[in-house]
Amino acid sequence: MKIKKLGLVAVALAAASALALSGCATDSGSGDGSTTGSTGSSTAIITTNGSEPQNPLLPANTTETGGGKITTSIFAGLVSYTADGAIENEVAKSIESDDATNWTVTLNDGWKFTNGEPVDAASFVDAWKYAALFSNAQSASYFFDNIVGFSYDADTELTGLKIVDDKTFTVELAAPEADWPLRLGYTAYMPIPKAGLADMEAFGQNPIGNGPYKLASDKAWVHEEKIDLITNPDYKGVRTPANGGLTIIFYPTLEAAYADAQGGNLDVLDGVPDSAFQTFETDFPERNANQAAAIFQAFNIPEYIAHFSGEEGQLRRHAISMSINRDEITDVIFQGTRTPATDYTSPVINGWTDKLKGADVLAYNPEEAKKVWAEADKISPFEGEFTIAYNSDGGHQAWVEAVTNSIANTLGITAAGKPYPTFAAMLDDRKNQTLTGGVRAGWQGDYPSMYNFLAPLYQTGAGSNYEGYTSPEFDGLLKEGSNAKTIEDATAKYQAAQEVLLSDLATVPLWYSNVVGVWSDQVDNVVFGWDSVPLYSQITKK
């Protein structure tokens, strides 16, 4: 049903998932649900939900959650993350520095890719150089901008990377970064074998990894439907699977996934449709989770949209933000599974605060919103409809309708949602800058740091800065924070950078998401990590 007046209706439509879902439900393709060759204690296949990756599965070109679930399962980096976001060594034996600028990485023995190639220093150095090269257009290339030799607009080599021997390489950063190892569990830093670098197009469709899982066959990825993974018997890390593999199913809606979970056809679901917010705990007694996660949700209004550039655009973004009743929307629609945002990060990230200067623009203030909107109309009268684009396969319809109704009711304008069939289709228009209005946005942390919530989305030229936001003041504060010698100094700079964002409002923060998940009575040891993703390797199945 459509939301006309908040607080007067019950929402029973689409899901309010933080992740985008696409494709169709299917069985695992494994007959009795088992496989052989597992290094874990069980050969049972775990079924879970996911979404069709936006791009081929190249580690440094996978920056959305659908592909991320897969790449973190089939690759192992220097470090990995525990449930609470701490790092522990994987391929790395040690990562050391005396000055936080020059780092020496030593690898453990015995690691190899699933094609038999050794995982050596060149596997990392060559992969990182490929990822950082301008002409290779990898969406996560900016993760290497702190290494000497990086360029945003030319093909230059990362001269800060040097191979010492098969098990050792050094990294020279452009400036000190005390917490540099914290980022190294992100997929952009994964190794690639020589065979992959020789044919990256083929590698992207059938990647050769070194992680706890591998593709079940060269036809394991059925586009828009599912991907089948089995355990990697040669894996040497800390995430040894206690199961036989994963089938990640790309559902068309979260309701479909939830119905499969209720029917015993899906083992683990990391999202719950809003129609089940009041019932999921009783539907899955003692088999559910509702916990804080590093997920931030918002919507963006590109400056290339008419009436949203310059002073007029800044006024309109402020007016729109103050016209949204976040408290009511999170109570009515999300039933306590969301918290209104006060910054651009997440309460589970060190440095989060609700005391930023300018954060009052995120509070519901209809009278001030009308006043500011009128000031913008004096510059150029607004005509037409304000829209927020969203992907239908991600369960965003209900909250988008709630937000646009709140805007319309407050400002007296026409506002509505604009659905796209898939997350990938919406991202394509964002990247091509062909949107006709606002667009829903969100961020699930790649690694547990304030910097990770700011640089990828708002730094000039960053890979996920699709709307082209740029601010020299913000960029400068961000750089000062990343180069700070203490965590306290870095936090202060990142908070100041967020105050610039609150003034510009290129992104309008909405709320932080909890991970709300359920699982069947056939599985145990289900734990959701700091980033909302289940720790798949720990799950056991009866």
Q: What is the domain-level CATH number for residue 279?
A: 3.40.190.10
Half-sphere exposure of 22 (CA within 13 A, CB side): 21
Q: What is the distance, to the nearest Å, from the Cα of residue 60 to the centroid of all Cα atoms in its chain?
A: 14
User: 155 and 210 share a domain?
Assistant: no
Q: Which two tokens stand for residue 535?
A: 């720790």
Last residue of a domain, one of 148, 167, 198: 198
Burial of 539 (0-12, 13-18, 19+ CB in 10 A): buried
CATH of residue 375: 3.10.105.10
**Angstrom distance (rounded) from CA 177 to CA 457:** 20
Please indicate, yes or no, whether residues 509 and 522 belong to a single structural domain of this protein: no
Last residue of one domain, picked from the residues 164, 198, 232: 198
Q: Check residue 6 and give its pLDDT.
A: 25
Question: Where a domain ends, among 150, 177, 198?
Answer: 198
One domain for residues 462 and 493: yes
* Residue at 22 is within a domain: no
Residue 452 dihedral angles phi and psi, to the nearest 5°: -70, -25
pLDDT the model gives residue 448: 86
Q: Do 392 and 260 reside in the same domain of the chain?
A: no
Is 465 found in the same domain as 352?
Answer: yes
Instruction: Please indicate, yes or no, whether residues 114 and 214 belong to a single structural domain of this protein.
Output: no
Q: CATH code at 90?
A: 3.90.76.10
* Per-residue confidence (pLDDT) for residue 497, from 0 to 100: 98
Identity at 278, one-letter amino acid code: Q
Q: Let me know whether 239 and 217 are in one domain.
A: yes
Q: How far apart are CA 334 and CA 89, in angstroms?
A: 37
Amino acid code (one letter) for 534: P
Q: Do 352 and 222 have their domain in common?
A: no
Which structural domain, as residue segments, surrounds residue 463? 292-515
The DSSP result for 69-134, as a single string, is: HHHHHH---SEEE-TTS-EEESSEEEEEESSSSEEEEEEPSS-B-TTS-B--HHHHHHHHHHHH-G
How far, in Å, CA of 220 to CA of 212, rounded? 16
Residue 507: inside a domain, yes or no?
yes
Phi, psi of 225, rounded to the nearest 5 degrees: -130, -60
Instruction: Look at residue 37 and tell me if it is in a domain.
Output: no
Please indicate, yes or no, whether residues 449 and 474 belong to a single structural domain of this protein. yes
For residue 400, being part of any structural domain is answered with: yes
Residue 5 in any domain: the answer is: no
Q: Any residues with CB less than 8 A from the CB of 308 and at least 6 apart, and which?
A: 301, 302, 316, 317
Instruction: Give the CA distances from residue 339 to residues 20, 253, 342, 346, 442, in Å, rounded to whole numbers and listed in that order.
Output: 20, 23, 9, 10, 14
The CA distance from 230 to 30, in Å, is 11
Based on the fold, state whether residues 380 and 285 are members of the same structural domain: no
Q: Is residue 252 part of a domain?
A: yes
> Does 212 lie in the same domain as 112?
no
pLDDT tens string, the chain, 542 residues long: the values are: 211 222 222 222 222 332 232 223 233 333 334 443 334 457 999 999 999 998 999 999 998 889 999 999 999 999 999 998 889 999 999 999 998 899 999 999 999 999 999 999 999 999 999 999 999 999 999 899 999 999 999 999 999 999 999 999 999 999 888 789 989 999 999 999 999 999 999 999 999 999 999 999 999 999 999 999 999 999 999 999 999 999 999 998 899 999 999 999 999 999 998 889 999 999 999 999 998 889 999 999 999 999 999 999 999 999 999 999 999 999 998 888 899 999 999 998 889 999 999 999 999 999 999 999 999 999 999 999 999 999 987 779 999 999 999 999 999 999 999 999 888 889 889 889 999 999 999 898 888 889 999 998 999 988 789 889 999 999 999 989 988 877 788 899 999 999 999 999 989 999 999 999 999 999 999 999 998 999 999 999 98
What's the structural domain count of the chain? 3
Is the residue at 409 inside a domain? yes
Contact (CB, 8 A) for 390 and 400: yes
Statement to judge: residues 386 and 360 lie in one domain: yes
Evaluate whether residue 33 is within a structural domain.
no
